[in-house]
Each structure stands twice: as structure tokens, then as C-alpha cells.
Amino acid sequence: MRDDERTELDDRMMASAIECAREAEGHGDVPIGAVIVRDGKILAAAGNERELRADPTAHAEILAIRAAAEALGGWRLPGTTLYVTLEPCAMCAGGIVLARIPTVVFGAPDPKAGAAGSVLDVLAEPALNHRPAVRGGVLEAECAALLRDFFAARRSGEGGIRTHEAG
């Protein structure tokens, strides 16, 4: 992204998403975190809980979308921005479209599963009835390092036990 598009709010909110990612790592989940912001305030925050809940759909974005909908009292999330440390997958991008979230900001791209342009581009699909504005690369180095360190530690610590995909 261009430097002049990046704001102090983006950096601050992505730092909060990184905190959620660290919490996820604390319970053995792949470190991915998300926050949903409206009027400069955090409405909802969540880390990936796939392992914790033994739920393949318990991605950070989905958990944050559910919490934000509860906070706002409706399924639409107008005026919000979703910050997530890793480019959303197809499921989460679908959830973002369904919730009509106006703006998505992500940290690191996901060349294996990203659905904001890397593998698919669900968020820019002209046939869908909602297309959020998308910015990538906010605190990208920090977001990517979390994942890299997590998988490196797992490989060295568990003697080659399976490493499955992020997100």
C-alpha cells in the first residue's frame, strides 16, 4: 500500500489484532487475530480458536463478526472496519460480504488461501452485491513474523509432526 494511505488508526488497530493473535497462540492456535472498529472504537476482538473449540469455522474474523453483530444488535455492520492480521480466507471473505462490512484492512497476504486477491478475490467479485474497500500490508512484517515463528517453533519442537495451513 502507499504510505499516504496508511493511517495512525490503522497501525493502532492492527496492533490490537496482533494482541488477539498472540492470545490465540497461547492456546495452541495458529496466531491470527481480528478486531472490528467503528468510530475509532473496538466493537469486537477475537483470535483464531479453531483448535480451542475444535471448530473448523472458528476463525478470528468469523468470531469477531458474530460478536460485533451482537454488539450492534443486527446482522449488518455498517460503518465498520475489520482489521485482521492475515488476508481472509474464502469463508471469512464470504462472512465479510454477508455482514456488509464497508472496509477491510489486513496485515500479511496469504498466498495459499487468501480470498482478497491472492488465490481468489471474493472481496472484489463484481457479481456479488457488496464490495468492501480493501487495504493490505498494514504492519505486514509483524503479522507475518508471528506466523513464521509459530510454524518454525512447531517444526523444531514436535519432531516433524504435521504442520497444516494457516488461517
- In the complex, the smallest distance separating the C-beta of residue 8 from Zn ion, rounded to whole angstroms, is 27
Closer residue to Zn ion (CB): 112 or 148 = 112
Q: How many whole angstroms separate alpha carbon 94 and alpha carbon 122?
A: 7
Cα dihedral sign for 26, 43, 56, 119?
Answer: negative
| Residue of 61, 87, 140, 165 with catalytic role | 61
The yes-or-no answer on residue 140 being catalytic is: no
The edge-to-edge listing of strands for the beta sheet with 103-108 is 41-47, 33-38, 80-86, 103-108, 133-135
- In the complex, the smallest distance separating the C-beta of residue 33 from Zn ion, rounded to whole angstroms, is 12
Closer residue to Zn ion (CB): 13 or 82 = 82
Binding site for Zn ion (CB under 5 A): 59, 89, 92
- In the complex, the smallest distance separating the C-beta of residue 85 from Zn ion, rounded to whole angstroms, is 11
- In the complex, the smallest distance separating the C-beta of residue 59 from Zn ion, rounded to whole angstroms, is 3
148-160 b/e (C-beta count within 10 Å ≥ 16 → b): eebbeeeeeeeee
Closer residue to Zn ion (CB): 89 or 134 = 89
Angstrom distances, CA of residue 91 to CA of 22, 27, 79, 101: 22, 22, 22, 14
Closer residue to Zn ion (CB): 59 or 135 = 59
Catalytic residues: 61
